[in-house]
Structure 1
């Protein structure tokens, strides 16, 4: 993949995307310019995957090599996430037992922070804290929202702790109501760009404006710290929230997994 094949925003999205996932991975590798591998070691296929970010005449072969690599080197299930797979890539996917997971289609989005202004937030009194020194609180909304078990949550928390210990530029934020962690997210930074991941609200507390408040708080701080753009990947459920904040779609990813 060449930079001039993509818009500047899409290129920057892929750069900070690579920074975040490589930061929390036990193994990450660029199979080629178009195919990247990330293995966190967490025992769920959504956190170990091959990422296809561009399609050209070599991509199908590169994907085959990536599948063989992960089959030989990892013990955890893994998925494939692809941008606009062509017929050759779809053939490889079918031959190796992967099928489209309709629930895992995501939209890559960008927000221009230069002209963005923080929204008024009308939720009850809350407190937002950077909890890099207390990831237990950050993990509570994530475990609840994504309905993971304690083992998966602990494994994922260890990935983030390892990234912090290695000096990666990740920050973990939690919104508290009455001293209880209700909503969390992760902010990663590369140069003047930031990215949001792990946006989650405790079950039973959703659709009350907590995620909106937390994202606005974190984006405002990032802007004050000279960030010029923010990126994220939105599920269908979260798409409307991010559009209200000001994010604009760049492209779609399709997720594929083995049954």
Structure 2
């Protein structure tokens, strides 16, 4: 395979990002190559929100489109902005009531250089599972989801799988207890990791690393050369130890829910 430059890697990252969110969210709208919106759920719950992601491409009329959309959206809005676009969007978002929250890091691993590390202690049992009940437990626990929201999230993944999307769900089990889970997605032989989560009582034992290594080996078996992920500040050091390299940073902005004159009856208003 020919060498891929940084800009091409960023484009591949956004390709995997859009694929993952588009297949796991009930509604989405692609404003242009730079700006995408994803409606997280059709049901009213604490995670019922609109994701807007502003990437590496040209903003074009995408900024105007989201600035027109956001005031009409009563659910919470989380906007992820590529570091190079912050100067363009920060003031308009502040005028709409957004606050700056966390920073995340887009990362890439060249699978040609991937070498699994030796396991520490007794290795967990690693499974590629089609039983999403097993997978959902650690994910819901790790991301502090309520039982209701975890069920909605699981249902969305099940719907994507039933539709033939290339999602693979891995779990790690210790003495019959599922302690860790993640999602591997594939598009055009490019891989992405999401939902890496470990039950709090089992963190710090290397289970997530071993689970990721197994999923990366699976991706290589499917022909993947590159794997991407988005890391929180707490996860960056772990992923760097595994060989992932920083691509760019996202700055997250948050606006809470607005008082609704009438209850929203569908997601079309939010993203359409």
Note the C-alpha offset of 1:258: 1.3
Cα separation, partners in 2 of 1:153 and 1:122, compared to 1, 3 Å: same
Q: Deviations over 1:152-182 (max 9, x none)?
A: 1111111111111111110111000011110
Tell me the SS of whatever aligns to 1:227.
Answer: coil
Note the C-alpha offset of 1:221: 2.0
Preserved CA contact (<8 Å) 1:45 1:257? no
Tell me the SS of whatever aligns to 2:113.
Answer: coil
Q: How many residues align?
A: 250
Preserved CA contact (<8 Å) 2:108 2:228? yes
Corresponding position: 1:83 with 2:82: yes
Corresponding position: 1:147 with 2:144: yes
Corresponding position: 1:65 with 2:65: yes
Tell me the SS of whatever aligns to 2:209.
Answer: helix
Q: Equivalent residue for 2:238?
A: 241
Preserved CA contact (<8 Å) 2:48 2:75? no
Q: Equivalent residue for 1:110?
A: 108
Q: Equivalent residue for 2:53?
A: 51
Distance 1:221 1:34 in 2: 30
Q: Equivalent residue for 2:9?
A: 9
Tell me the SS of whatever aligns to 2:201.
Answer: coil
Note the C-alpha offset of 1:114: 1.5
Tell me the SS of whatever aligns to 1:204.
Answer: helix
Tell me the SS of whatever aligns to 1:154.
Answer: helix
Matched ranges for 1:1-259 at <5 A = 7-41=7-41, 43-44=45-46, 48-54=50-56, 56=58, 58=60, 62-69=62-69, 72=72, 76-84=75-83, 85-101=85-101, 104-132=102-130, 134-259=131-256
Q: Deviations over 1:123-166 (max 9, x none)?
A: 3132111122x111101111111111111111111111111111
Distance 1:34 1:166 in 2: 26
Distance 1:166 1:76 in 2: 27
Tell me the SS of whatever aligns to 1:87.
Answer: helix
Instruction: Please give the TM-score of this superposition, normalised by the length of structure 2.
Output: 0.85
Tell me the SS of whatever aligns to 1:17.
Answer: helix
Tell me the SS of whatever aligns to 1:175.
Answer: strand
Distance 2:28 2:104 in 1: 21
- Structure 1 unaligned residues grouped into runs of 5+: none
Distance 1:122 1:6 in 2: 34
Note the C-alpha offset of 1:192: 1.8
Alpha-carbon RMSD: 2.2
Moved more, 185-194 or 215-224: 215-224
Tell me the SS of whatever aligns to 2:107.
Answer: strand
Note the C-alpha offset of 1:6: 6.4
- Structure 2 unaligned residues grouped into runs of 5+: 257-272
